Amino acid sequence: MKIVVDKKEYEVDPRENLLEACLGRGLDLPYFCWHPAMGSVGACRQCAVKVYRDENDARGRIVMACMTPITPNLLASIDDAEAREFRAGIVEGLMESHPHDCPVCDEGGECHLQDMTVMTGHNYRRFEFPKRTFHNQYLGPLLNHEMNRCIQCYRCTRFYTEYAGGKDFAVLKLRHLVYFGRAEAGVLENEFSGNLVEVCPTGVFTDKTLKRHYTRKWDLQMAPTVCAHCALGCNVTAGERYGTLRRIVNRYNGQINGYFLCDRGRFGYEHVNSPKRIRSARARRDAGAAEIPKAEALDRFSSLAAGGKTLGIGSPRASLESNFALRALVGPENFYAGVSDASYDLLAAMLQVLRQGPAPASLRQIEHGDAALVLGEDVTNSAPRLALTLRQTIRQAGLEQAEKMRVPRWQDHAVRELAQKDHGPLFIATPYPTRLDDVATETYRAAPDDIARLGFAVAHLLDPASPAVPDLAEPLRALAGRIADTLQAAARPVVVSGTGAGSAAVLRAAADVARALAKAGKPVAFSLQAEERNSLGFAMMEPKPLGRAVDAARAGEVQTVIVLENDLYRRAPAAAIDALLAAPHVVALDALETRTTAKAELVIPAAPFAEADGTVVSSEGRAQRFFRVYPPAGGVQDSWRWLADVLGLLARPEGLAWKDLDDVVEAVARAFPSLARIRDAAPGAGFRIAGAKIPREPHRYSGRTSMLANIQVSEPKPPEDPDSALSYTMEGAPVEPPAALLPFFWTGGWNSIQAVNKFQEEIAGPLRGGDAGVRLLDQAAGGAGTLARAPDGSASVPVAGYLDSVPAPFAPRRGEWLIVPRHHIFGSEELSAEAPAIAELSPQPYVALGPSDAAALGAAPGAVVNVKSEAGSASLPLRVEPGLPAGLAALPAGLGPLAGIPLPVWGRIELGR
């Protein structure tokens, strides 16, 4: 549709509002309360423009652009003198009580309020009366609160309570004294609270972890990277100063994380600065261990790798390149998976299911679904950003209702008022209560096998060709009926599951439901969640199961074991790992000290995510490249480079051929046809814009001639980066790079992260040139994961047949419990648990039982009980978890003394003495 702004014609989408239309066309119009993901409420009155009835209307009237729908031939003016005066007046009003503290405010330099104040031209305070002030609240270890800076735009509470479903945050008081906070000081409960840092247009909510090593945005050396703390592959920008990682901010990717991150992803970065970091190579000598220089480390490594049978244990948290280099060193026949055999089977099952289709959906597709079934996965704790997406999925019903009543989607308050508490269907079947239960239509608490049976029953109802579930109890049959009816009625159903429950049956059941829906011609958004950053990519490299490596070690066949970025004691019972690491020689490459590196004869300092380059494959099957933020200090380098150096010393062809990352990427792509497209995940190291590399440092980077002057007054040459098209300088390409190489969002007049508007094809659409990453699993099913629709529109269903392995119903045992893993957003993931702020929020180890089982056991909450299973035993405090079904117990995943035992497992729980 055509509109005219300041006498220039623009073609805009009629579903947008005038503010979006202006910003999307590159025009500068100040705003505060509107947010591209949250729509308009018209609270701040900042985006005032003039609109005119027709060409003859000379006076026009002032309207709020964010509340003005696009109409044909709309005549508007941003530049009109009266509108400008109005906007300047609004900012002056907002600034009346703003404290005089920009110099000590963490938002300064990337503050939307600063930008908008400059944009409107307000520069001198005329208000001479006392400023209103507030006391701040303690909000936990992640966020800092400074209420004096508030300008009452209501974005925080709209995000926290309406978008993210938080319950412990509200608007208090009235008039100019409105206060945004909790009823009482305390840790914010919501898992997405960190987004307030970016949602708040000024410095009311700032990053508390950044505050401890504060650096302005202009001083950060930044690079595009991929979050290291779950398998969703959210895009993040990491920033460094003086050799330490300073913070993580969101990097918009329209297909994945959009505008928001979870708190684990945002605040887990501090593991990179941990005192547990391995900074130099270390070899065990007769008495203790000693640091050795890089050359000696390489010599020892290559002699160990060359002598006798060598096993390589890969890792789902290491990049494809590092795993591949290890595989090249030890040979495919000696390349083992560094995950438990149970996880291995799950990953294999997941990969098989995804390859047969339906292809995995992106978070964007899931967000646009209209009915969701979550089978077995506690998404808030295992893939947190997905939980935030599911909260938007259930809003689609309300949005559609609004559209029918001709209320535009961006009219946020009107849409929410219309929908009230009615939201779209969301069925959650998990072993224990989840944080999404408050918006679930129905929940089902049961053992993994019963959850799988529910899934199979739903699939059978959707398509009788799928296997029937024998002996289905009546309540479950009825529930399956309701779920099947709902999914059948939905236009874009969503099926989510994952490896979190530790059950392959659950995965297969979810796949059967998705297949039945696909067969019915529905564009089902199907998503399976793996546990770690590169779980799926690692599985695609076809390692052998860890158990066989242990067997080989027990049989004494192994001379050397090379462990890549992996704490094996988290993967399998200690006895098995002890047997494996009892091999004559053990080499461990890792970034942090672990129980595994403590056992190694030779410890090689590998680069953590912020100091490494590589490619990872997310649960969506999206291959994404991540880049070094800063060159690692000392002897640290990428695992793949260590291994390539060793290959070179051994005069192996790979070692001689691999000069930089692109060579290794090429080798991976050649070796695995399914990974061939990782070449396109990002432009290679040779990419240039106007002959220049892309700078990692903003154009206002300070201190270049001073930061190292205490060591040597002559400035060193900036380090070279042979592996990417990014440079460690502030000089470079004056135009915007492709999305995969975008180090930060910053543009003239827009210093805050709201500058992302200027990098998108349309507001909240893809970044210009397409979002980062390539999908690897699309060949199996229809394009772009929309699944199962042939070009002619018929339901072609390129999916394989159903999986018929319906498990028997779960039968509780006397005196024994099925111990299931209970995931925790803070603590369950290995790396983020090393970040102090996350560690503070992580629970203490425990074992959980349902109230009736705890009563039967005669144990009070907090009592110490003995947990015994084949794989290991420990004494743990008891936690009574309402909602945990009888016969089930839960252990925190990846936490505490039993972190290594593969769950679920049968075990005994006895009262401790």
Partner 1 sequence: MWSIIRSLWLVLLHMFWPRFTVQYPDQKPYLAPRYRGRIILSRDPDGEERCVACYLCAVACPVDCISLQATEDPHGRRYPEWFRINFSRCIFCGLCEEACPTYAIQLTPDIELGEYNRQNLVYEKENLLIGGTGKYPGYNFWRVAGVQIEDKDKGQSEREAPPADLRTLLP
Whole-angstrom distance, CA of residue 260 vs CA of residue 309? 47
Cis amide linkage into residue 904, ω under 30° from 0:
yes
CB 723 within 8 A of CB 607: no
128-136, 224-232, 549-557, 807-815 -> range binding partner 1 (CB under 8 A) = 128-136
Closer to partner 1 by Cβ: residue 50 or 182: 182
Cis amide linkage into residue 573, ω under 30° from 0:
no
Give the 3-state secondary structure of residue 623.
Answer: strand
Closer to partner 1 by Cβ: residue 705 or 779: 705
Unique residue bearing structure tokens 């429950």: 501
DSSP 487-500: HHH-SSEEEEEEGG
Closer to partner 1 by Cβ: residue 185 or 598: 185
Count residues contacting partner 1 (CB under 8 A)?
46
Contact positions with partner 1 (CB under 8 A) in 740-799: none
213 binds partner 1 (CB under 8 A): yes
Closer to partner 1 by Cβ: residue 169 or 410: 169
Listed in sequence order, the residues at least 6 apart from 824 whose beta carbon sits closer than 8 Å to its beta carbon are 381, 842, 843, 892, 893, 895
Whole-angstrom distance, CA of residue 159 vs CA of residue 358? 32
699 binds partner 1 (CB under 8 A): no
Contact positions with partner 1 (CB under 8 A) in 144-203: 146, 148, 172-175, 177, 179
CB of 95 to partner 1, least distance (A): 12
Interacting residue with partner 1 among 71, 73, 123, 705 (CB under 8 A): 705
Closer to partner 1 by Cβ: residue 323 or 751: 751
Closer to partner 1 by Cβ: residue 108 or 769: 108
Closer to partner 1 by Cβ: residue 7 or 175: 175
CB of 281 to partner 1, least distance (A): 29
CB 268 within 8 A of CB 228: yes
Interacting residue with partner 1 among 167, 211, 279, 659 (CB under 8 A): 211
Closer to partner 1 by Cβ: residue 60 or 109: 109
Query: Which ranges of 582-681 would DSSP assign to H, the alpha helix?
Result: 595-599, 639-649, 653-657, 661-671
Helix or strand run (H / E) with residue 388: helix 384-393
Show the tokens assigned to 617.
């494959």
Pairing of strands 170-172, 179-181: antiparallel
Interacting residue with partner 1 among 307, 464, 703, 801 (CB under 8 A): 703
Whole-angstrom distance, CA of residue 133 vs CA of residue 136? 10
CB of 641 to partner 1, least distance (A): 30
CB of 133 to partner 1, least distance (A): 4
Whole-angstrom distance, CA of residue 535 vs CA of residue 742? 25
DSSP 25-86: TT-----SS-BTTTBB---S--SEEEEESSTT-SS-EEEEGGG-B--TTEEEESS-HHHHHH
CB of 702 to partner 1, least distance (A): 4
* Bridge partners, 245 (sequence order): 240
Closer to partner 1 by Cβ: residue 213 or 277: 213
124 binds partner 1 (CB under 8 A): no
Closer to partner 1 by Cβ: residue 73 or 706: 706
Pairing of strands 585-590, 560-564: parallel
Pairing of strands 622-626, 774-775: antiparallel
Unique residue bearing structure tokens 């979190």: 500
Closer to partner 1 by Cβ: residue 136 or 779: 136
Helix or strand run (H / E) with residue 596: helix 595-599
Show the tokens assigned to 69.
């729908």
From the list 556, 545, 594, the residue with the least C-alpha distance to 574 is 594
128 binds partner 1 (CB under 8 A): yes
CB of 158 to partner 1, least distance (A): 20
Interacting residue with partner 1 among 295, 465, 575, 709 (CB under 8 A): 709
CB of 184 to partner 1, least distance (A): 10
Task: Count CA atoms within 13 Å of residue 274 on its CB side.
Answer: 25
Closer to partner 1 by Cβ: residue 123 or 136: 136
Show the tokens assigned to 166.
């938080």
Closer to partner 1 by Cβ: residue 81 or 174: 174
133 binds partner 1 (CB under 8 A): yes
CB of 206 to partner 1, least distance (A): 12
132-140, 734-742, 750-758, 860-868 -> range binding partner 1 (CB under 8 A) = 132-140
CB of 170 to partner 1, least distance (A): 11
Interacting residue with partner 1 among 136, 794, 805, 844 (CB under 8 A): 136
836 binds partner 1 (CB under 8 A): no
Show the tokens assigned to 600.
């190694």
Closer to partner 1 by Cβ: residue 73 or 705: 705
CB of 97 to partner 1, least distance (A): 8
**Residue window 78-107: x/- pattern of binding to partner 1, with contact defined by CB under 8 A:** ---------------------xxxxxx---
Residue 408: CB atoms within 10 A of its CB come to 20
Whole-angstrom distance, CA of residue 443 vs CA of residue 373? 10
- CA angle (228, 234, 236) in 5-degree steps: 75
**Residue window 219-238: x/- pattern of binding to partner 1, with contact defined by CB under 8 A:** x-------------------
* Bridge partners, 353 (sequence order): none
* Bridge partners, 11 (sequence order): 2
CB of 265 to partner 1, least distance (A): 25
Closer to partner 1 by Cβ: residue 93 or 521: 93
704 binds partner 1 (CB under 8 A): yes
CB 437 within 8 A of CB 428: yes
CB of 371 to partner 1, least distance (A): 41
* Bridge partners, 620 (sequence order): none
Interacting residue with partner 1 among 71, 73, 123, 706 (CB under 8 A): 706
814 binds partner 1 (CB under 8 A): no
Whole-angstrom distance, CA of residue 419 vs CA of residue 400? 10
Measured between alpha carbons, how far is residue 162 from residues 117, 157, 367, 457 in Å?
28, 7, 15, 34
Start-to-end CA span in the chain (Å): 76
CB of 248 to partner 1, least distance (A): 19
Closer to partner 1 by Cβ: residue 174 or 811: 174
DSSP 382-449: HSHHHHHHHHHHTTHHHHHHHHHTT--TTBHHHHHHHHTT----EEEEESS--TTGGG-SEEEE--HH
CB of 131 to partner 1, least distance (A): 5
126-134, 675-683, 770-778, 826-834 -> range binding partner 1 (CB under 8 A) = 126-134
* φ, ψ of residue 163 in degrees (nearest 5): -80, -45
Give the 3-state secondary structure of residue 358.
Answer: coil
Interacting residue with partner 1 among 28, 69, 118, 214 (CB under 8 A): 214
Interacting residue with partner 1 among 333, 470, 710, 811 (CB under 8 A): 710
CB of 146 to partner 1, least distance (A): 7
Residues of this chain that interact with partner 1 (CB under 8 A) are: 99-104, 108-109, 128-136, 146, 148, 172-175, 177, 179, 211, 213-216, 218-219, 242, 700-707, 709-710, 712-714
